Amino acid sequence: MTRTLLTGNAAAAWGARLAGVDYVPAFPITPQTEIIETLAGWIDSGDMRGRLVTLESEHSMITAAGGAAATGVRVFSATSSQGLLYAMEMLYTVAGWRAPFVLVNVSRGLASPITLESDHNDILAARDCGFLQIHCASCQEVLDSTLLAYRLAEDARVRLPVIVNLDGFYLSFTREPVEIPAAEPAAAFVGDFDPQNTRFRASTPESQAVAVLGGSPYSYFRYETHMAAQNGLLVYDELSAAFAEQFGRAYSAIEAYRCEDADIIFVMLGSFATKAQAAVDRLREAGHSIGLLRPRLLRPFPAEQFRSLLAGKAGVAVIDQNLSMGMGGVLHAELAGALYGYAQAPSRLLSFIGGLGGRDISLEEFYRIAEVTRKAVDEQCTPPPRLLYTEQDLREMRKLQAVASVERDELNNSPHFSED
């Protein structure tokens, strides 16, 4: 085992290399491109077996990935943001094929307007497609989760593709100390890919399914896929226990930080949860009973674990780094659905939306979230969802608007020339 500094992108590439992937269909997009460049370098130098092919789009990339996985090949690919949306049609298709492979998504905010910074609207747009989802908060988690994802995808009880998600820039280009497992133990953990009945041979072609189904058989197949995804909860727990035993690092479906004696809980996805963890420590020092829950596994949704961890708590503040237009925070809505009707549900469930387009969430804002949540518990009322946005943010926005207005006026008042 080697300990070295790696970016989140390099950690994802190492996960694919150690898993022994044989085929990498790819298309570059910021900030994911470094993953593909790293793999291409290893393959060209002979340090890694396999074949990398650049396709003309993400749609073609996922088509190729699903097709290869259906022939018994271990496949890896990666994308980000608009690329994930361009591939959306094929995400549903290859999940319906029950083609097990791993796709890394480097989260980046969606247009329009355009941003290169991170939020989770891209990955959460894919939550219903049939891919399972693992969300990471550190570069070490990226590498380890990629190994776990292959075991999860290829398990006979699941047989579905898996997305491993990391935050763009905050993880993709940030170097952290990462332990790289030795090749033999990693290969032993992942094991060989047994394609079972998902294979194809040109000499003996055999249809795997029919192209068009009526409502009754279609319903059956869709529900069967849903049940396979649900199996992922048990399978993931088994795999994370096996991983901890072999490598000494434990990855539960939901990470609980200082929650046992807490009466108010923050809930967050991804790398920004590390900021919440620091805020929890500061609030604890000030005498506040605060904890943090961070789901790693978002699909399938670990509803029972959430209920158990939140039983009897006074208040919960869900901090979403996404915005579903016209509805609000996605994680807040999913957690509200899981807790509805549960006798021991927390008395108050509050929604906060922040970190959009990579906007920072300061310690002071976490303190304010805790204060608002405590007040809601004491007064037995639930305030409407709040966007984390300060007066300073608004002043900066007004300055930008003023500059744009001046430039527009200057353009309108400039001389115009025309040809007679």
Secondary structure (3-state) at 291: strand
Angle subtended by helix axes 273-285 and 363-379, to nearest 10: 70
Going by the DSSP 8-state scheme, the letter that residue 162 receives in this structure is: E
| Per-residue pLDDT tens over the stretch 311-360 | 999 999 999 999 999 999 999 999 999 999 999 999 999 999 999 999 99
Judge whether residue 420 has pLDDT over 60. no
Q: Is the pLDDT of residue 22 over 50?
A: yes
Identify the CA nearest to 119 among candidates 318, 356, 324.
356
Distance CA 17, CA 405 (A): 52
- Entry field: residues in the chain: 420
**CB burial class (10 A; 0-12, 13-18, 19+) of residue 132?**
buried
Q: Model confidence at 401, in pLDDT bands (50, 70, 90)?
A: confident
pTM, 2 dp: 0.93
Q: 376 vs 45, 261, 381, CA distance in Å?
A: 60, 19, 5
pLDDT tens profile 99-127: 999 999 999 999 999 999 999 999 999 99
23, 50 Cβ separation under 8 angstroms: yes
**Mean pLDDT taken over the chain:** 93
Convert the pLDDT of each residue in 127-143 to its tens digit. Answer: 999 999 999 999 999 99
Distance CA 263, CA 376 (A): 13
Q: Going by C-beta distance under 8 Å and a sequence separation of 6 or more, which residues neighbour residue 305?
A: 253, 254
**Interval 45-100: pLDDT, tens:** 999 999 999 999 999 999 999 999 998 999 999 999 999 999 999 999 999 999 99
What digits encode the pLDDT tens for the residues 142-172?
999 999 999 999 999 999 999 999 999 999 9
What pLDDT, in 10s, does the model give residues 273-300? 999 999 999 999 999 999 999 999 999 9
Q: Which two tokens stand for residue 373?
A: 């949540």
Check whether 224 has a pLDDT greater than 70: yes
pLDDT over 90 at 206, yes or no: no
pLDDT bucket at 404, cuts 50 / 70 / 90: confident
User: For 27-42, what is the mean pLDDT?
Assistant: 96
- Percent over 90 (pLDDT), the chain: 85
* Contact (CB, 8 A) for 154 and 19: no
Find out whether 72 and 64 touch, Cβ atoms under 8 Å.
no
What does DSSP assign to residue 357?
G
